[in-house]
Structure 1
Amino acid sequence: MTRRILLSHLSLMLLVLLALEVPFGFIYARSELTRVSNTAELGAVTLAVVCEDKLEHGRASDLPEIARNYTQRTGSSVVVTDHNGTVLTDTDTDTVGQNISSEPDIATALHNRTATGTRDDPVSDSDILFATVPGTSDNTVSCVVRTLSSLAPLTQKVQATWVALAVTGLGVLAAVALIGFALARSITRPLRALERATAQLADGRLTNPPATDRGPPELRRLAASFTRTATRLQHLLHSQRAFASEASHQLKTPLTALRLRLENFEPHLTPCAQHSLNEAIGEVGRLSRMVQGLLALARLENSAITPEVIDLDAVVADRAAIWTAFAGEQRVDITVAGTKAGQVWAVPGALEQIIDNLLSNALRASPPGTTITLATAPPPADSGRTPPMAELHVTDEGPGMTEIDRRRAFDRFWRAADAHHDGTGLGLSMVQRLTRASGGEVTLNAAPHGGLDAVVQLRPAQAARARSSAAALQKIAPLRSPNTAGNRPMTERISGRPR
């Protein structure tokens, strides 16, 4: 912004200087040429009067001396002709006796008119000024006097004037640049402070609030409003973090106690009430998972972390090995296919959670005897993306989803109308947030042979290093991979895919 303000000042001043100096330079050059022309014409008229007087008294022999004296005094060459145009004396060349009445300026003077102007001098390769005047007596032309003056001194003088104007203009521009730079810095300094404060606030904490006593009044008021807003936002974020931290402990205990009390009713209930008890216990479990999912999303939104380089193939192989036992209980196979994708950028722990959520959803939708495929693919060379993305496909052979359902599947709490499982509708929302926090994207497509194909696109590590990693950072909190030892914890804290 400083550069733009400075350029605007310099542009305006340059226009002002051009509007003033250029016309002044042309006017000065024209006035100097007019002055020199008038002086040369006046000198030629005076010399013509003297020459006419000499010829009238029969003293033509004095003309060469008079012409030489004039040349020495003015630096101009002189040509004097008689009333027929025959050269009587010439201080520059030996043309005495030649008739030059056919030359335009001489012919004009022989008709008792003065001729002045400029022409090229082939000898000196410069312009010369000629002044040709008649010497008359009683309206009779007795002689003609032509003076020739070089315009080189005048040209040098005009050029020096242009140089002086240019130097003056540059000096003015330099002074304006210094003054404008100081003013621009004083104006933009509060804006830069606001920019730094905004960046700090975007990272989650405002440590250096902008000064509210510097800069123009409008910027001071803006800085004060921003500081109040940032303070309020930090207070709200702190309150939300505190709530997420405290609620995770405060809600677990009563929900667990409620489930235990319901289970304690089982020996005392009649068989006809057993079904209702099981549904109540299931709803308590679903409520517990929903609360944990909401708290997990709150932690994702309240913290900012940096993606790291993760080996996608290793994580895929590890999660497939862990989920194979769970899938075996439902007579569903899990296979790993595709080409090695290598290292990608991902938030620490995000890949494990993404794969766990997608496998949990796929397992819920897969009928016995089917296969869930985990397929990886390296970035294609001609993908047209900048940079190209590595891909992870989680494909099942279940009933699939309609196009409308696939578009809404990432909404919080959304579940398909025909869903027959106890999912909370938060799992895919967490998958999307974790993927985007890692700088990638997740989409749901119809599998070629039925079922659903969840495609996770992530930035390859080598290509991502060439770009600014700051653009990929988003505010999330790491949700650590569950401990899979023992019972099946993923189904307790990850929601199912809406069907």
Structure 2
Amino acid sequence: MTHRLLLSYLSLMALVLLALEVPFGFVYARSELNRFSHTAELGAVTLASVCEEKLEHGLASDLPQLARSHARRTGSSVVVADRRGIVLTDTTTATTVGRNISSEPDIAAALSDRPATGIRIVPGGKVLFATVPGASSDTVPCVVRTLYSLGPLAQKIHATWIVPALVGLGVLAVVALIGFALARWITRPLRALECATRQLADGRLTDPPATDCGPPELRQLATSFTCTANRLQHLLHAQEAFASEASHQLKTPLTSLRLRLENFEPHLAPCAQHSLEEAISEVGRLSRMVQGLLALARLENSAITPEVIDLDAVVADRGAIWTAFAGEQHVDITVAGTPAGPVWAVRGALEQIIDNLLSNALQASPPGSTITLVTAPAPTDYGRTPPMAELHVVDQGPGMTETERQRAFDRFWRATDAHHDGTGLGLSMVRRLTQAGGGDVTLDAAPHGGIDACIRLRPARATRIRRHPVGRAGPPHLARARAAGQEHGQARLLGDGAGHRGQTDTS
């Protein structure tokens, strides 16, 4: 912004200088030409009077000397012709003496007792001519033509143009210094606001903008921004505190409620066992929903920085871990495609994204089907579209309609025929984790039925890859689910979002 303000100052001053100096230059040039022309005409009239007097006294032999003297004194060339237009003397060349020049326009006008002044172009450049008659009586005894080169006058005018130009440059230099200082003073609060905005975007305002410098309007803006930032920080801290406290305060009563319900089992009649199982399942679903909401709150309230992660290594690792659990349902998991290389992602996000998508795909896949993990590198020739590495999780389940795929990432939305124990938060978290790394996720229809979940991530080529250790014991939700004695525990990791038709990811 400093440069823009400085440019505006200089542009305005340049327009003012041009509006003043250019007309002045043209007026000065015209006035100098008029003055020069008037002086030349007066000199020619004076010379013509002397020549007329010499001719009247029969002293025509004095004309050459008289003409040369005038030419040396005025820096011109002189031609004197008699009443018939015959050249009597010419200071430029003697070959024209005796030649009749009465047909030339300026000579013909002077012989008719009309002075002629103007500019003509000759081989040496432009010249000013002043042709006057020597007519102190009724007849014109002689004609005098004086020629002046306009080169010296042009040099004088150009030299005069240089002075305003130098003055203008000096004024622009002074304006530039003053404008730069003024622009820096005006934009200093804006730079402080920009720095404070970046800090606030990172989660904490450590250096609030000064409210005692800059124009009054910007001081007021800085004050308002500081108040707003403090209020936002207070709200964020309150949300973080709520998420932290709720995580502890809700876990204990939910766990206690679950244990109490399980303790009722020996004392209930067989006809009430199904209701007890449903109640225990709902308590588990409520617990997973709370955990999912708290996880989303932490994602939205905390500053997360993407890192360079080896996508191929993570895909191979998660595929190997999920293969054993998929085998229990007679479903195969394969890894295919071209290595995608390093990508930008939040630390630990890729594992959670793949686990959630595989959990959804496993619930939707019938026995004997295959879940395919396909990686693709970013294209090298992409035109105006930014290159993105891709990861596809393709199942062979019943799939989803286009409307369901569009709503799949909405919070708490589940397909109408999804399992009742889902929370509708898993795919919301998948999208949030993907977007935190600068990527995106979509659900498309697979070519041969099922769903193609496509994760697009920013490539990080020629960058050192940071590898994080990945546990080999399998997804932690699986162990917790088995320990709790629940069936289908393999599907309960991050929450369900929409799942596929006939499926739900759980949290």
Q: Specify whether residues 280 and 168 from structure 1 end up closer, same or farther in structure 2 by C-alpha distance, changes over 3 A only.
A: same
| CA distance in 1 between partners of 2:99 and 2:298 (Å) | 111
Instruction: Look up the SS of the partner of 2:131 in the other structure.
Output: strand
Kept in 1: contact 2:408–2:414 (CA 8 A): yes
Which residue does 2:103 correspond to in 1?
Answer: 102
Show CA shifts across 1:345-365 (max 9, x none): 221111111111112112222
Q: Specify whether residues 449 and 145 from structure 1 end up closer, same or farther in structure 2 by C-alpha distance, changes over 3 A only.
A: closer
What is the CA distance between 1:146 and its match in structure 2? 2.0
Identical-residue share of aligned pairs (%): 77
Kept in 1: contact 2:311–2:343 (CA 8 A): yes
| CA distance in 1 between partners of 2:235 and 2:454 (Å) | 35
| CA distance in 1 between partners of 2:441 and 2:343 (Å) | 15
Which residue does 1:84 correspond to in 2?
Answer: 84
Q: Specify whether residues 293 and 244 from structure 1 end up closer, same or farther in structure 2 by C-alpha distance, changes over 3 A only.
A: same
Which residue does 2:59 correspond to in 1?
Answer: 59
Instruction: Look up the SS of the partner of 1:456 in the other structure.
Output: strand
Q: Specify whether residues 240 and 65 from structure 1 end up closer, same or farther in structure 2 by C-alpha distance, changes over 3 A only.
A: same
Kept in 2: contact 1:322–1:484 (CA 8 A): no
Which residue does 1:287 correspond to in 2?
Answer: 286
What is the CA distance between 1:149 and its match in structure 2? 2.3
The one-letter amino acid of 1:26's match is F
**Within the alignment, does 1:140 sit opposite 2:139 as a pair?**
yes
The one-letter amino acid of 1:261's match is R
Show CA shifts across 1:102-123 (max 9, x none): 332222211111112222343x
Kept in 2: contact 1:398–1:451 (CA 8 A): yes
Which residue does 2:411 correspond to in 1?
Answer: 412
What is the CA distance between 1:22 and its match in structure 2? 1.6
Kept in 1: contact 2:2–2:187 (CA 8 A): yes
The one-letter amino acid of 2:213's match is R
Q: Specify whether residues 153 and 418 from structure 1 end up closer, same or farther in structure 2 by C-alpha distance, changes over 3 A only.
A: same
Range with bigger deviation, 65-74 or 413-422: 65-74
Range with bigger deviation, 217-226 or 42-51: 42-51
Instruction: Look up the SS of the partner of 1:374 in the other structure.
Output: strand
Which residue does 2:333 correspond to in 1?
Answer: 334
Kept in 2: contact 1:362–1:497 (CA 8 A): no
Which residue does 1:42 correspond to in 2?
Answer: 42
Kept in 1: contact 2:411–2:425 (CA 8 A): yes
| CA distance in 2 between partners of 1:386 and 1:20 (Å) | 50
| CA distance in 2 between partners of 1:378 and 1:179 (Å) | 53
Show CA shifts across 1:80-106 (max 9, x none): 222222233333322433333233222
| CA distance in 1 between partners of 2:384 and 2:475 (Å) | 34
Which residue does 1:13 correspond to in 2?
Answer: 13
Range with bigger deviation, 332-341 or 127-136: 332-341
The one-letter amino acid of 1:120's match is I
Kept in 1: contact 2:478–2:492 (CA 8 A): no
| Residue pairs, 1:205-224, within 5 angstroms | 205-224=204-223
| CA distance in 2 between partners of 1:274 and 1:397 (Å) | 35
Kept in 1: contact 2:412–2:497 (CA 8 A): no
| CA distance in 2 between partners of 1:347 and 1:140 (Å) | 108
Kept in 2: contact 1:361–1:497 (CA 8 A): no
Kept in 2: contact 1:444–1:452 (CA 8 A): yes
Instruction: Look up the SS of the partner of 2:141 in the other structure.
Output: strand
Range with bigger deviation, 155-164 or 54-63: 54-63
Kept in 2: contact 1:315–1:351 (CA 8 A): yes
What is the CA distance between 1:208 and its match in structure 2? 1.3
Which residue does 2:504 correspond to in 1?
Answer: none
The one-letter amino acid of 2:231's match is R
Which residue does 1:149 correspond to in 2?
Answer: 148
Kept in 1: contact 2:428–2:497 (CA 8 A): no
Q: Specify whether residues 172 and 497 from structure 1 end up closer, same or farther in structure 2 by C-alpha distance, changes over 3 A only.
A: closer
What is the CA distance between 1:387 and its match in structure 2? 4.1
| Residue pairs, 1:233-312, within 5 angstroms | 233-312=232-311
| CA distance in 1 between partners of 2:494 and 2:89 (Å) | 118
Which residue does 1:483 correspond to in 2?
Answer: 476
Kept in 2: contact 1:397–1:451 (CA 8 A): yes
What is the CA distance between 1:491 and its match in structure 2? 4.4
- TM-score, normalising length from structure 2? 0.89
- TM-score, normalising length from structure 1? 0.90
| CA distance in 2 between partners of 1:375 and 1:140 (Å) | 112
Q: Specify whether residues 132 and 494 from structure 1 end up closer, same or farther in structure 2 by C-alpha distance, changes over 3 A only.
A: closer
Kept in 2: contact 1:80–1:145 (CA 8 A): yes
Which residue does 1:476 correspond to in 2?
Answer: none
Aligned residues: 482
Q: Specify whether residues 409 and 385 from structure 1 end up closer, same or farther in structure 2 by C-alpha distance, changes over 3 A only.
A: farther
Q: Specify whether residues 270 and 19 from structure 1 end up closer, same or farther in structure 2 by C-alpha distance, changes over 3 A only.
A: same
| CA distance in 1 between partners of 2:238 and 2:153 (Å) | 83
Which residue does 1:74 correspond to in 2?
Answer: 74
What is the CA distance between 1:370 and its match in structure 2? 3.0
| CA distance in 1 between partners of 2:68 and 2:374 (Å) | 107
| CA distance in 1 between partners of 2:173 and 2:310 (Å) | 57
| CA distance in 2 between partners of 1:448 and 1:127 (Å) | 85
Kept in 1: contact 2:355–2:493 (CA 8 A): no
Unaligned 5+ residue runs, structure 2? 465-473, 482-488, 502-507
The one-letter amino acid of 2:97's match is V
| CA distance in 1 between partners of 2:313 and 2:417 (Å) | 36
Instruction: Look up the SS of the partner of 2:46 in the other structure.
Output: helix
**Within the alignment, does 1:438 sit opposite 2:437 as a pair?**
yes
Which residue does 1:474 correspond to in 2?
Answer: none
Instruction: Look up the SS of the partner of 1:335 in the other structure.
Output: strand
Kept in 2: contact 1:310–1:343 (CA 8 A): yes
What is the CA distance between 1:254 and its match in structure 2? 0.6
Range with bigger deviation, 375-384 or 86-95: 375-384
What is the CA distance between 1:344 and its match in structure 2? 2.4
Unaligned 5+ residue runs, structure 1? 467-480
Which residue does 2:454 correspond to in 1?
Answer: 455
Instruction: Look up the SS of the partner of 1:251 in the other structure.
Output: helix
Q: Specify whether residues 256 and 491 from structure 1 end up closer, same or farther in structure 2 by C-alpha distance, changes over 3 A only.
A: farther
The one-letter amino acid of 1:221's match is Q
Kept in 2: contact 1:334–1:373 (CA 8 A): yes
Which residue does 1:477 correspond to in 2?
Answer: none
The one-letter amino acid of 1:218's match is E
Instruction: Look up the SS of the partner of 1:445 in the other structure.
Output: strand
Q: Specify whether residues 333 and 133 from structure 1 end up closer, same or farther in structure 2 by C-alpha distance, changes over 3 A only.
A: closer
Instruction: Look up the SS of the partner of 2:206 in the other structure.
Output: coil
What is the CA distance between 1:333 and its match in structure 2? 3.0
Range with bigger deviation, 306-315 or 483-492: 483-492
Q: Specify whether residues 168 and 385 from structure 1 end up closer, same or farther in structure 2 by C-alpha distance, changes over 3 A only.
A: closer
